[in-house]
Amino acid sequence: MTEAYTQRYRQLLMVILAFTGLLLEVVFFSQVDQLNNYLELRPPFSIISSPRFLYSITIFSYLCFLFLLPKLIDQYLGAIVSVVSTVVFLGILEGATKVVYCNFADRSFVQLRLLPGECNLSATYQGHHYLNHAGTPNYFSSDKANRHNSLGFRGPDVIIPKPKGRLRIVLLGGSTTYTERVRDWHNDIARVLESELRAKMPRRDIEVINAGMSSYSSFESLINLEFKVLDLHPDIIVVYHGTNDVHTRLVPPSKYASDNSALKRQWAEPQMPLILRSAIVRLVFGPLITNLGRFIDKPHNTIGIKSSGVNSDLGGTPKETLLANPPIYFERNIRSMIAIANANNIESVLMTFAWNPDFHDYASSEHYQFAFKEQNQILRNITNELGVSLFDYSNLMSQDPNLWADGVHLNEKGVTEKARLLGEFLYSNFALGENDNAPH
């Protein structure tokens, strides 16, 4: 009896070795260079990714299967059938899930759960050599509800050079400017504001461009203005920042720096375990796996932290961290944008940040509201000192929950109200009627 069991254990061990060999072949042989680079293998360990080693493993695996499988099939037929049936079922379920993803599921649900290039859909964002990430040029969502122009900005193409006589307004900001929670690009803040201004001045050639991008803070908008927006020759820029600049301050005080290196890392596709690439797994956990932050933010960050207690990553409470990390870089970035605009004969409008604390998300926390108010006061101080225009949006925007998608983003009704308020401000403060004093 003991000898029989020993023989079976030996056979199982050989099968395990055979499967291990095949796995090494599949993984290593297809990605030899990547493996060496990623693991930084050095002799003698680098031998495991050499072609000679892989060929040897492959031959060994085939021999094991050739001599052992017939015997094992006879002895473990029931178990083998169960395992094979389970694998086949999971494979069919995985394939069916991908078919549903790519052909039948709601696009807004699916695109949060897709890996780059999956379902032949282009990604909304891509890496950028200076901005870290930007909108994918000429992007169209599968349902055509969202689009980017050739510059990667949300909306239609922009004519360069600017047509004579056209009043061009460019909006700078993060996801609240991109209008992330409004699916149809025809209803984003730029399009609705443009319609609002054209209705007030039907004989003026007015264009509003949405240069906002999800996750952009004043750090990215400064670069965006210098390297992308100036080529559009705008007459007016409207700068709207708040949430993402608070994120940049919720870092360990010892790492708080002018280049935002405590929060951001270079764009890279996140490394994830094989199981997380399963369509079935992403059906349940998708947004946690494939959101933009995993491509650009450092791990173990405290973005959106709601708890006011001591946080181990921060080394204190969020409020203590914000006090230790004052918005000096936010202020410097805003001042730099104004200086660039002035040097290029562009009018600047700063908008205070509005939020709704009734959604019980991070925007309702004491520390985020403290930071919003602090940064808004900085904007007021800058405009008083430099004489640029301030649109005090935070004191004007209604907190009616029917206008908001969450604590910081608006829905379509909210965008209409925001455009109405901003349109009235621009019309009243920049003499946008047909006269020689209007920007052009």
209 forms beta bridges with: 170
CA separation for the pair 362, 215 (Å, rounded)? 16
- Going by pLDDT thresholds of 50, 70 and 90, the confidence category of residue 37 is very low
Query: Angle at CA 370, nearest 5°, toward 369 and 373?
Result: 85
CB atoms within 10 A of CB 153: 27
pLDDT at 22: 57
Q: Concatenated DSSP letters for 390-423?
A: EE-GGGTS---GGGBSSSS-B-HHHHHHHHHHHH
Q: Are 210 and 155 in contact (CB under 8 A)?
A: yes
Query: Looking at domain 149-263+298-429, what is its CATH homologous superfamily?
Result: SGNH hydrolase (3.40.50.1110)
List the alpha helices (DSSP H) in 31-50: 32-39
Q: Where are the domains of the chain?
A: 2-75, 149-263+298-429
pLDDT digits (tens, 9 = 90+) for 257-287: 999 999 998 877 666 666 667 777 777 766 5
pLDDT for 239 beyond 60: yes
Residues 161-169, mean pLDDT to the nearest whole number: 97
> Distance (Å, rounded) from C-alpha 421 to C-alpha 349?
14
Q: Do 230 and 168 meet the contact criterion of CB atoms below 8 Å apart?
A: no
User: Residue 337: phi, psi to the nearest 5?
Assistant: -65, -40
Alpha carbons within 13 A on the beta-carbon side of 421? 19
439: pLDDT confidence band, cut at 50, 70 and 90?
Answer: low
Interatomic CA distance for residues 206 and 315, integer angstroms = 50
Percent pLDDT > 90 in the chain is 57
The C-alpha atoms of residue 223 and residue 333 are separated, in whole angstroms, by 10
Amino acid at site 353? F
Q: How far apart are CA 43 and CA 65, in angstroms?
A: 31
* Residues 347/430, Cβ–Cβ less than 8 Å: yes
- How many angstroms separate the CA atoms of 37 and 49, rounded? 11
Predicted local distance difference test score (pLDDT) of residue 40: 45
Mean pLDDT for 158-165 is 96
Task: Summarize pLDDT for 328-370 with one digit per residue, the tens.
Answer: 999 999 999 999 999 999 999 999 999 999 999 999 999 999 9
Q: Do 419 and 192 meet the contact criterion of CB atoms below 8 Å apart?
A: yes
Q: Could you tell me which residue, 1 or 294, shows the higher pLDDT?
A: 294
Distances (CA, A) of 90 to 29, 110, 230, 289: 26, 20, 53, 21
Distance CA 115, CA 111 (A): 9
Residues linked to residue 316 through DSSP beta bridges, in sequence order: 311
Dihedrals φ, ψ of 167, to 5°?
Answer: -95, 115
DSSP 218-234: HHHHHHHIIIIIGGG--
Mean pLDDT, range 168-178, rounded to an integer: 98
Q: What is the pTM of this model?
A: 0.76
Report residue 25's pLDDT band, with 50, 70 and 90 as the boundaries: low
Q: Which residues are CB-contacts of 233 (< 8 A; sequence separation ≥ 6)?
A: 161, 162, 168
76-134 pLDDT per residue, tens: 656 666 666 777 787 888 888 777 777 776 655 665 566 666 666 677 888 899 999 99
Distance from C-alpha of 127 to C-alpha of 152, rounded to nearest angstrom:
11
For residue 67, name the pLDDT band (cuts at 50, 70, 90): low
| Bridge partner residues of 351 (DSSP) | 240, 391
> Quick one: how far is CA 423 from the chain centroid?
29
19 vs 31, residue with greater confidence? 19
What gap in Å lies between CA 264 and CA 301, rounded to an integer?
10
